[in-house]
Each structure stands twice: as structure tokens, then as C-alpha cells.
Structure 1
């Protein structure tokens, strides 16, 4: 991937501050993203709220420690959330739209260390937590199951959607090169 394409498809402070996303490959069938978690991200109870995706994916931990929690809808035992439709601004969407209250039950939480991988279906609800500073993971994203223009779902405790100001910032070429060096060093360890 050339520098201009990497800058176009990569983001600093992706969903939260301290979560950088470097796109190193992008085709309709397979996209490879390298996620860097720095600063206070490891202190958060969740990096992002429980959500589904528009694609199936595989995640591999390169450094640090993380956990992946999978949720299922359960009206009796689940925790009450506010369900939002998510139309990503990265695809021309307008963000979050509240839909209803819903219950989700945390079915599993698995911890992963360097070399561990896990796979998720697009329809699965999950969230991730970082348990060490400077955790780096690789996400292999496969072709879209949910078409662009159709929303995915996100579940939040709050009824008001979070403020997206200061998120989805563009990298400079030097910042891209720094992240590429970090990624290559981890691949060579």
C-alpha cells in the first residue's frame, strides 16, 4: 500500500483517544489493520461499547494483553443497554441514532497474549479491553456482509451518544512511518 492510501485509510484516535489504526492492506476481500493502544486506553473498562460489525474478522495480538467479551441478547438475565444504530462517518454516515432499550448478557470473556488469535462473525456483539499499555493487535477484515449504507449496532449504558470531537484524526507521513517501524519490529520479534 502506498503512503497516500495509508494516510487516506488510517486514523489516529480511532474510536477513543490513544487508539490508532494503521491500514496496511485494503481490498474488497481483505483489509489488514494494525491497532495501537497507548496512553490511558488500558485504564478504560472497555475500549469501545459492545457492537457488531459489517464484516467477519480475525484478530491477532502482537504485543501486550487484551480480552474479548462476546455478548448475546437475553431479556431475562442481560444488563440493560441503549441500542444505537451506527452509521460510520468514515463511510459518509451521520454517527449514532438511538433505537431502543435492550438487554445483553456477557456470554464469554477470553484473555489473549502475543501470538493468540480469535475470530468473530459480523453478527456477533463484542467489546475489547486492554490489560497492558502499548498493546498492539492486527485485525484481518474480510468482505462486507452488511452493505455500506446499512447500519451496524452499538450498545451503550448512556442514552446520549458520545461526542466524536477529536476522534478520527489523520496521520502525517512521519507518523505513518513511525507506526510502520513499530509494526515491523513486532513482526520480527
Structure 2
């Protein structure tokens, strides 16, 4: 059952937050389950798919206490097959952009997410171009040929603050992405990922609404 979008949805200043909130309220749990993932990229990062077609995907990343950071990053530096626009909906993090350069400090791989297949593409160096400190309401665009990653802020009182990111993904423009590992790192620490149940989706949905400052009302439950 789809829920009506509140008529006041677009009257706030943060249209990004209201857009993702409206999508979350409209989600079909059965359709979501086919593409959402528990422990996506790292343990403690949940992927909620709100809409998916070959040309446009809308999703949320909920990051709480990630368990296996990769060389100090949330994930290893990488590019994508597609362009996307991200909006921080809750919390804060660092978005880092890199430029590949001649050198031998990093291993470069071409990568296909299907089957997690990677093929060596030689060695290089990565020059850190920019560190972008992003907080709630901030957006950033990443093109397919850009190399980037994320880094969580230091824990507060021993625990990292939760981060919620909304992401609008556009159509693929290339068949493979690139993955970069520090020299000497042979393997990627893949998480114990799996598909969520409908009950888990309901809990995650409510958690996201809570972080966006819009807890679900009794009439806004999954059917």
C-alpha cells in the first residue's frame, strides 16, 4: 500500500530531505527487498533501495558503527559506472576526491560488482585533491570518472554518530569501475551482506524517518 505524500512536503528549506522522506513513505517493501542490502560495502552500513530502473535509482545509506574500515576509509577509493548526486540527511562525514598519478603506491583494478570480480590494471599513486566536510543538508555530485571515498568523523564519547545519506544514481555510462588498494593490501574485507526481511525493512525505515526528524505516524506502517 502506498501512502499519500504530505501536502506540506515541499514547503521546507531542505528539499533534499523532504524528497527522500516522501520516497521513503511511498516505498513498497516487497520491491525494496529485492535490491536492499544489510551490511552493504561494510558491516554496519545498510542500503535501502527506494526506486530502481536502468536509468535512475534512488536509495538511502544508513551508516551506524561500521565494523571494518578499509585503510582508514569507509570503503577503499574507487570510481563508479554511473554519475550520482548525494545528500547528507543526518550526521556528518568527510568526502575525499583523488586523482590517479604515475607511481607505485597503490594497486589499480578494474572492477565489476557482479561477482565482485577485479582485474589488475597496474600500479599508480593517488593524489588527494580535496577533503569535503559534509553535514546535514549538504550535497555533492560525483562523475563516473572521478575517484572518491568517504571517511567517518571520529567517534563522540566512544561511539560514531549515525550518518544517513540519500543518493540519486543515474544510468551506467561504462561497463566497469575502478578500485584502488594500498600497495601490500592483497584482499578486500568484504562484509557479511544479505537481503533484509520485511520486518527489518520496517525497522530501518522507522530509524531513517527518526533521523530525518519525521517519525512515522501510526498510519504510516508497512502493509
TM-score tier (shorter) = 0.7 to 0.9
Are the aligned partners of 2:56 and 2:168 in contact in 1 as well (CA < 8 Å)? yes
Q: Does residue 155 in structure 1 map to residue 183 in structure 2?
A: no
Q: What TM-score, normalized to structure 1? A: 0.86
Are the aligned partners of 1:86 and 1:96 in contact in 2 as well (CA < 8 Å)? yes
Name the larger-Rg structure: 2
> Residue 122 of structure 1: which of 141, 144, 155 is its match?
144
Q: What TM-score, normalized to structure 2? A: 0.74
Alpha-carbon distance in structure 2 between the residues aligned to 1:121 and 1:80: 24
Aligned residues: 180
- What are the ranges of 5 or more consecutive residues in structure 2 without an aligned counterpart? 1-26, 154-159, 215-223
Counterpart mapping for 1:40-189 below 5 A: 40=66, 45-75=72-102, 80-89=105-114, 93-131=115-153, 132-146=160-174, 150-157=175-182, 158-164=184-190, 166-189=191-214
Alpha-carbon distance in structure 2 between the residues aligned to 1:130 and 1:63: 13
Higher relative contact order (CA 8 A, sep 6+): 1
- What are the ranges of 5 or more consecutive residues in structure 1 without an aligned counterpart? none
How far residue 171 of structure 1 moved from its aligned partner, in angstroms, is 0.5
Tell me the SS of whatever aligns to 1:127: strand
Q: Does residue 23 in structure 1 map to residue 55 in structure 2?
A: no
**C-alpha RMSD of the superposition:** 2.1
